[in-house]
Amino acid sequence: MSAIEFDNVGRLFERDGRSFPALDGVDLTVADKEFVALVGPSGCGKTTCLRMAAGFEAPSSGRVLVGGAPVPGPGPDRAVVFQQFALFPWKTVADNVAFGLRNKGMAAPERRDRIAAIIKLMGLDGYETAFPHQLSGGMQQRVAIARAYVLDPQVLLMDEPFGALDAQTRVVMQEELVRIARINPRTVLFITHAVEEAVYLADRVAVMTQRPGRIKEVLDVRAIRAAENWDRHARVEDVMDLESFVHLRTHIWRSLREEKVGGER
């Protein structure tokens, strides 16, 4: 069963009395507990796709389904992690993580157990009483991911979650996400501009065209991984040495470059 499905999705935006197509005929499925990365030229509609899956926007045509049902709006079955950490600066790590659970009315004992488990999973032990300004960028993003995971969503929607981090921290967070996905798998739609990140993290990589965005091709990284005997949980720098990884990365870059050149004609 598809956890997320885009069925011939189009999206129009209005500006100065004129309509501008952002998406046109997007078809894409994400299976249950599958990790799909979406890459494409700037402005091609990647984030719009994610926002429709989250229920923040509605398609102008076609359907967006989660769990086989049309998306009526935001819901507890989906959690979103943004590039900006969006933490409450006046709340501690534990209180930031607890925010959604309190809104759901979860009883305090169960809430404490759930928070303790996710804080341990995210490697935040010892930081429960720290405030966001006392944490590094990587640690703040761990809190943001913990806040999403603690709600036990079926679907995790991640919009360039590591884009604001320095290069070294970004690599560490990529490896952490692989580790967490192994222990506590979720269906993930992951938006990124970084091709290497997409290839390293995802089961499949969907490449989008220039605006109006469509799915140009979908690459099954999982199948290549199996055929080439990749270690799914290897460190980033080890995977980078694999010839098949470099070949796949180069293929995606060429595909994106075609879109950029084509869009400038």
Read off the tokens for 6: 């885009």
Kindly state whether residues 140 and 233 are assigned to the same domain.
Answer: no
Kindly state whether residues 111 and 146 are assigned to the same domain.
Answer: yes
Range of the domain at 191: 2-77+156-263
Kindly state whether residues 119 and 165 are assigned to the same domain.
Answer: no
Kindly state whether residues 130 and 169 are assigned to the same domain.
Answer: no
Kindly state whether residues 160 and 146 are assigned to the same domain.
Answer: no
Read off the tokens for 11: 């999206």
Question: Residues in the chain with pLDDT < 50?
Answer: 240-241, 263-265
Which pLDDT belongs to residue 73? 93
Which pLDDT belongs to residue 72? 92
Which pLDDT belongs to residue 240? 47
Kindly state whether residues 193 and 181 are assigned to the same domain.
Answer: yes
Q: Count how many domains the chain has.
A: 2
Contact 23, 49 (CB under 8 A): yes
Which pLDDT belongs to residue 188? 94
Using alpha carbons, select from 194, 195, 177, 175 the residue that is nearest to residue 186: 177
Kindly state whether residues 112 and 194 are assigned to the same domain.
Answer: no
User: Largest alpha-carbon pair distance within the chain?
Assistant: 61
Kindly state whether residues 101 and 227 are assigned to the same domain.
Answer: no
- Please state, in angstroms and rounded to a whole number, the distance separating the CA atoms of residues 14 and 166: 36
Domain final position from 110, 131, 152: 152
DSSP H stretches of helix in the chain: 46-54, 93-103, 108-121, 137-149, 167-183, 195-201, 221-227, 236-239, 243-263
Q: Residue 238 maps to which CATH number?
A: 3.40.50.300
Domain final position from 98, 133, 152: 152
Kindly state whether residues 120 and 204 are assigned to the same domain.
Answer: no
The separation between CA 147 and the C-alpha centre of its own chain, rounded to angstroms, equals 14
For 190, list phi and psi in degrees, rounded to 5: -120, 120
Kindly state whether residues 160 and 253 are assigned to the same domain.
Answer: yes
Model-level pTM? Answer: 0.88
Kindly state whether residues 73 and 53 are assigned to the same domain.
Answer: yes
